[in-house]
Structure 1
Amino acid sequence: MGNSLNGKKIAFLATEGVEQIELTRPWQDLKEAGATLHLVSTEAEDVQGFNHLTAADTFKVDRITQEVSANDYDALVLPGGVANPDTLRLDKHAIAFITAFFAAGKPVAAICHAPWTLIEAGVVKGRTLTSWPSLKTDIENAGGKWVDQSVCYEQGLITSRNPDDLDDFCSKLLEVFAA
C-alpha cells in the first residue's frame, strides 16, 4: 500500500456499539498507508466495540466531539454497528462535526448503519449511496437514492453495505483519501 497517506489526518467517529471490524479494518489499512488516525467520540471513555451483538474489544478515545473541528482533519470515517450511529445521531456535536466535513468538501466514508448519522446531518438529499438494507427507506425519505452494491462513491462520499464489503470499501478509502 505504500505511504500514499503520509501527512494526512483522518478522524474515525464512533461510540459504544461500534461494529468492531468496521472500525479496525479501515484503521489498519489507513495506518499502513501512513495516515495519522484519531478515534473521536462523544465522551473520553473507551469505546466498546461489538461483533454484531456480542461485546468485543474496547478502544481508546483520542479526542471528543466537543473539542474537534473538521479543520483538524483531511477525511472522516464513520463505522457502523446499530447502536453506534443511533447514539451519535442524538449528539449535536457529532452531527456538527459530520456536517462540517461536507461543508468543507472533505471526503467522508460511511459503512453499514453509519448513514443514519448522514441523514441526521442533512447531507443525504440528492446523493446516491448504499448502506445496510434496512436503511433504504430512511435514505429515500431523506431525499437520497439507495443502491445495492458493495461500494458507492459520489460527491466525496464513500458508502458500503456491511463487513463483507470491507475489501472494496477500504480500497476506495485509500484511493479517495490519497487524492
Structure 2
Amino acid sequence: MSTLSGKRVAFLATDGFEDSELTSPWEAVTDAGATAVMIAPEAGTITGKNGHEQSVDATSADAEAAEYDALVLPGGVVNADDLRLDAASARFARDFFAQHKPVGAICHAAWLLVEAGVLGGRTLTSYPSLRTDLANAGATWQDEEVVVDAGLVSSRTPDDLPAFNAKLVEEIAEGPHAAQTV
C-alpha cells in the first residue's frame, strides 16, 4: 500500500452526505498515513444521511487548496446539491484542478465538479443519474466501479468504495498530475 505520510487531504461535504462515502475514504487515507481535514460551508458539525456526525475543521470560505495535497468529495444527493450552491465550495474544488492536485469524487459528488467548471474533456463515472449532467459539462461518462483520469478518481456508489479507496490512495501518493487542470 502506498504511504501518504506527511500528506494533508481535504474532505469537502455538508449535511446529508452519504456516511460511508466519507468514513471509508477517510479511514483509507488516514490508515495510509495522511492527515484528513473536514471542510464544510458552515462551521460546527455536519451530519450524514444515516446519522454519522463529523466535526468541521475549516469552512470552505476560509480553506485554501494550497494547504492540501488532495481533495475528496463524498456523495449524497442533498450534500452534493447543497454544495453546488456554495460558491466558496466550487472555488475550493476548482483550485485543486488549477494546482494539478488529485481529486476523488464518488456518487453524486461530481455535481460540484460540474459547477466548478472542471469537467471539459475529462472521463469519469458517477451515480448513473448524473450521466447527462456530466456529458453536458463536457465529460465522457463510463459505467465502471472506478475511473481514473490524470488524478481525478471517480466511482458510482458505496459498493465501489474498495476500488475507489485503493485508487484514491495511489493517486494521492503519486502527487500532482500535469493533466489535472481546469
Do they superpose with TM above 0.5? yes
Residue equivalent to 2:152:
157
Aligned residues: 174
Partner of 1:35: 34
Deviation at 1:58, TM superposition (A): 1.1
Q: Percent identity?
A: 52
Q: Secondary structure at the match of 2:129?
A: helix
Name 1:136's counterpart in structure 2: 131
Question: The residue matched to 2:52 in structure 1 has which SS?
Answer: strand
Alignment deviations for residues 18-43 of structure 1 (CA, whole Å, 9 cap, x no partner): 00000000001111111011000000
| Correspondence for 1:58 among 53, 56, 60 | 53
Structure 1 residues 85-115: Cα deviation after superposition (integer angstroms, max 9, x where no partner): 1000110100000000000000100000000
CA distance in structure 1 between the aligned counterparts of 2:36 and 2:49, rounded to whole angstroms: 20
Q: Which residue type is aligned with residue 21 of structure 1? A: S
Match of 1:77 among 72, 81, 94: 72
For structure 2, the residue ranges without an aligned partner over 5 or more in a row are: 175-182
SS class of match (2:37)? strand
The Cα of 1:142 is off from its aligned counterpart by 0.8
SS in structure 2 of the partner of residue 50 of structure 1: coil
- For residues 44-75 of structure 1, give each alpha carbon's deviation from its aligned partner in whole angstroms, at most 9, with x where no partner exists: 02101123xxxx12111011111110000000
C-alpha distance in 2 between matches for 1:57 and 1:113: 18
Q: Secondary structure at the match of 1:118?
A: helix
1:92 aligned partner: 87
Q: Normalising by the residue count of structure 1, what TM-score does the alignment of the two structures yield?
A: 0.95
The match for 1:6 is: 5
Alpha-carbon distance in 2 for matches of 1:24, 1:104: 26
Q: Which structure 1 segments of 5+ residues have no match?
A: none
Give the distance between the partners of 1:33 and 1:149, measured in 2 at CA: 25
Structure 2 partner of 1:146: 141
Q: Runs (4+) of structure 1 moved beyond 2 Å?
A: none
The structure richer in strand per residue is 1
- SS of the equivalent of 2:119 reads coil
1:104 corresponds to which residue?
Answer: 99
How big is the alpha-carbon RMSD for the aligned residues of Structure 1 and Structure 2?
A: 0.9
1:164 deviation in Å?
0.2
